[in-house]
Amino acid sequence: MLAGGIGITPFLSIIKTAVHQRLAHEIYLFHSNHTPEDSPFLDELTAIGHSTPSIQYIPTMTDLKSPLLFKEGAGGGWHGERGFIDKGMLERHVGDLSTPIYYIAGPAAFVTAMRKMLVEAKVDEDNIRFEEFPGY
């Protein structure tokens, strides 16, 4: 699952259902935001990712000017991924990019960029599902 900003909303429901039903499917949820403060459901999804081995929550921040400006828990500073979701980031976490089915939601530019990146990574277009939030 690749979410941009508020595009996380439908995925939150899916994740909660997977946890409730104890689904064995391995789920990777990448969530791109400018800063931790702009990241909806960050704490809730981080907790789910820590408590549910089948769910990997990978938030990434694209606009951290200084790692000391932002706090995350008691550790201070952002310790997660930085930058835009790209092929390298997906490979670090998922491995073989040809096997998953991808779900993408977010602003139109985000969805377009993610689709383009996946196609260039030789992902079968039949394995890419998407939803844009126009006017966002």
- pLDDT (tens place) for every residue of the chain, 136 residues total: 999 999 999 999 999 999 999 998 999 999 999 999 999 999 999 999 999 999 999 999 999 875 444 444 433 479 999 999 999 999 999 999 999 999 999 999 999 999 999 999 999 999 999 986 666 5
Helix (H, G, I), strand (E, B) or coil at 109: helix
Whether 105 contacts 10, CB under 8 Å: yes
- Look at residue 77 in the predicted model and tell me its pLDDT: 79
What is the residue extent of each domain of the chain?
A: 2-132
- At 134 the pLDDT is 67
Q: Could you count the other beta carbons within 10 Å of the beta carbon of residue 57?
A: 23
Q: Where are the beta strands (DSSP E) in the chain?
A: 2-4, 27-33, 55-61, 81-82, 102-106, 128-132
Which CATH fold topology does 2-132 show? Rossmann fold (3.40.50)
